[in-house]
Structure 1
Amino acid sequence: MNILKKAAGKILYGIAKLLSVVLDVFIKVVEAIVTVLGNVTKGLIAFIGMGGCLLLFIFSGPLGLLLLMNPLVLFAILFFVIFPLLGTKFVSYLKYIKYIVTEFLFDRARYLIDGISYQFESFSEYKDKYRRMEEERKRREQQQRWNEQQRVWEERFRQWSEYQRQNSGYSDYEWYRQNAGNSNQNMYQDPTIEFKKKYEESCDLLGVKYDADKYEIKLAYRKKAKEYHPDLNKSPDATVMFQKINNAYEFLSDSNIERYRRMS
């Protein structure tokens, strides 16, 4: 009986492994197609932008009507415009399916081969784990972006402070004359104006006052994020707006709130 169980487990493990490889290849192919089509679409948009008036004239006339009635033309438009948008979600869905199905099969195979208990009893538990993993991945990526953003700002303010310290005895004209032709001059520009502008634009995007504290900012972010979440808001610009809201919230960190208050 144990021999049969182990044999069945090995067969199930082989099926899971094969399915994992097949899905990996399929996902990579779909990702490549989405990337290529996305680049082609961007190129077409740029081309249309350069000759927009001419194309508008052509498509508003009888020739444009004939072209739009052609099934091949309509298919091409839908393919190059809609597929890159839906393709990204399709890839995410494929990764989701691959994980829960293969992990389920691998768990059952290990149980049959070695008697190791299942990690989870049902598909829904694997789904929950995948969602938690994705949330954690996004959180780590957000933290990495925030760390890099803070590193850049800290370096800019450090360079500006160092420049002021070293050149405190020079007038702006004397410093410019002595450093004419220096390609690093732009490194020593006061970042204060740009920082304040970005801070205030982020506050405007979330709809909070410039002197809002972190709790007000967090509450406003949650409301805006819920309003523009792509799963809830089906408007064409929802995804772009959702990303802008996230970027604004990332910028309005505790340290940046404190820095802005010191500047005010």
Structure 2
Amino acid sequence: MDIFKRILGRILFAIAQLISVILDIVIKLIETIVTFVRSIAIGFVALISMGGCLILMLLAGPFGILIFANPVVLLTLLFFVVFPILGTKFVSYLKYIKYILTEFLFDRANYLIDGISYRFQSFDEYKYAYKRMEEERKRREQQRRYAEQQREWEDRFRQWYEYQNSQRENYSYDKQTNYGYNYANPNMEFKNKYEKSCDLLGVPYNADKYQIKLAYRKKAKEYHPDLNKSPDATSIFQQINEAYEFLSDENIERYTSIR
């Protein structure tokens, strides 16, 4: 009986490996196509922007009507606009399917081969595990972005203060050193970004962290893509998250000190 269980376990293990390899190939292929199509679309937009008013006038005139009346042209344009969006979503879905299906099969195979207990008893638990893993990944990515953003602002303020101090002390500057550069004052840019973030969350500029957190939760719930089906919900939701990241305790103190 144990021999049959081990054989069945090895079959399940091989099936899980095969599914994993096939899905990896499909995911990589779609990601490559999405990247290629997106680069062409970006290049086309850049070409139009370089042409400026002349290209816009051509497209708005009889020549443009002739082009856009062609169904092949319309379908091509629609493909370059829609495919990168749908392709990215499809890749995310495939990664989700790959994880829950292969992890389920690997767990069952290990149980049959070596008697190792399942990590989860039901298939749904693997779905929840994937969602928790994705939430953790997004949290770490958010922390990384925040740390990079803070380092960038710290560097800019430090360079500005060093430059101001060197100006006040009337040093003779060597153009080959950092002190020879005319650093821009980052205070105004920081202030504008802070206030735009407050406007996006709908809080006053003197809001404390508790007001900001409450407003963020309300806005995030309103524009969460799972709850809000409007086309721009995902974009607004991302902007809300970025604004909330920027309105950190450190930046609240910095804004209070410079306003």
Q: TM-score, normalised by structure 1?
A: 0.87
Code of the residue aligned with 1:168 in structure 2: it is R
Deviations 1:33-74 (A, max 9, x none): 111111111122233344565666666666655644544323
User: 2:175–2:181: 8 Å Cα contact kept in structure 1?
Assistant: no
For 1:47 and 1:155, how far apart are their aligned partners in 2? Answer: 35
- Partners of 2:35 and 2:84 within 8 A in 1: yes
| Counterpart residue identity of residue 18, structure 1 | L
> How much identity, in percent, do the aligned residues show?
65
- Whether 1:102 aligns to 2:102 is yes
- 2:249 corresponding residue in structure 1: 254
Structure 1 residues 61-80: aligned runs within 5 Å: 67-80=67-80
| CA–CA distance in structure 1, aligned partners of residues 122 and 182 of structure 2 | 57
Give distance in 2, aligned partners of 1:149 and 1:93.
30
What displacement does 1:117 show? 1.2
Q: RMSD value over aligned CA atoms? A: 2.4
For residue 47 of structure 1, what is the aligned residue in structure 2?
47
- Closer, same or farther: CA 188–65 of 1 in aligned 2, 3 Å: closer
State the SS of the aligned residue for 2:168.
Answer: coil
- Structure 1 residues 233 and 187: alpha-carbon distance in aligned structure 2, compared to 1, 3 A threshold: farther
Residue 3 of structure 1: how far off its partner (Å):
0.3
Among candidates 200, 224, 233, match of residue 238 of structure 1? 233
The question of whether the paired residues in 1 share the 8 Å contact of 2:34 and 2:87 is answered with: yes
The amino acid across from 2:188 in the alignment is I
The match for 1:215 is 210
Asked whether the 8 Å contact 1:156–1:187 carries over to 2, the reply is no
Contact 2:212-2:244 within 8 A present in 1 as well: yes
Deviation at residue 161 of structure 1 after TM alignment:
3.1
User: 2:186: which partner in 1?
Assistant: 191
| Structure-2-length-normalised TM-score | 0.89
Deviation of 1:249 after TM superposition, in Å, equals 1.0
Q: Distance in 1 between matches of 2:184 and 2:61?
A: 53
Aligned AA for 2:222? E
Paired residue type of 2:256: R
Structure 1 runs not aligned, ≥5 long: none
Counterparts in 2 of 1:48 and 1:226: CA distance versus 1, 3 Å: farther
Instruction: Write the distance in 1 (CA, Å) between the matches of 2:213 and 2:31.
Output: 34
Distance verdict in 2 for CA 1:109–1:68, change over 3 Å: same
Distance 1:165 1:63 in 2: 60
Structure 2 unaligned blocks of 5 or more: none
Over 3 Å counting, the alpha-carbon distance change for 1:72 and 1:183 in structure 2 is: farther
Q: Which residue of 2 aligns with 1:158?
A: 158
Partner residue, 2:169:
169
Equivalent residues of 1:159, 1:187 under 8 A apart = no
Distance in structure 2 (CA, Å) of the matches to 1:212 and 1:253: 12
- 1:80, 1:18 → 2: CA distance? 32
Is 1:263 aligned with 2:258? Answer: yes
Q: Which residue pairs with 1:36 in the alignment? A: 36
User: Which stretch of structure 1 is more off in the superposition, 101-110 or 54-63?
Assistant: 54-63
* Equivalent-residue separation in structure 2 for 1:27 and 1:186 (angstroms): 47
Contact 1:100 1:127 in 2 (8 A): yes
Deviations 1:196-243 (CA, angstroms, capped at 9, x unpaired): 122112112211111000111111112222233333334443333222
- Post-superposition offset of 1:79: 1.3
Give secondary structure in 2 for the equivalent of 1:211: coil
Measured in 2, the distance between the counterparts of 1:40 and 1:239 equals: 23
After superposition, the Cα gap between the structure-2 partners of 1:56 and 1:189, relative to the gap in structure 1 and judged at 3 Å, is closer
Q: Residue type of the partner of 2:173?
A: N
Taking structure 1 as reference, are residues 238 and 54 closer, same or farther at Cα in structure 2, changes over 3 Å only?
farther
**In the aligned structure 1, how far is the partner of 2:101 from the partner of 2:24?**
13
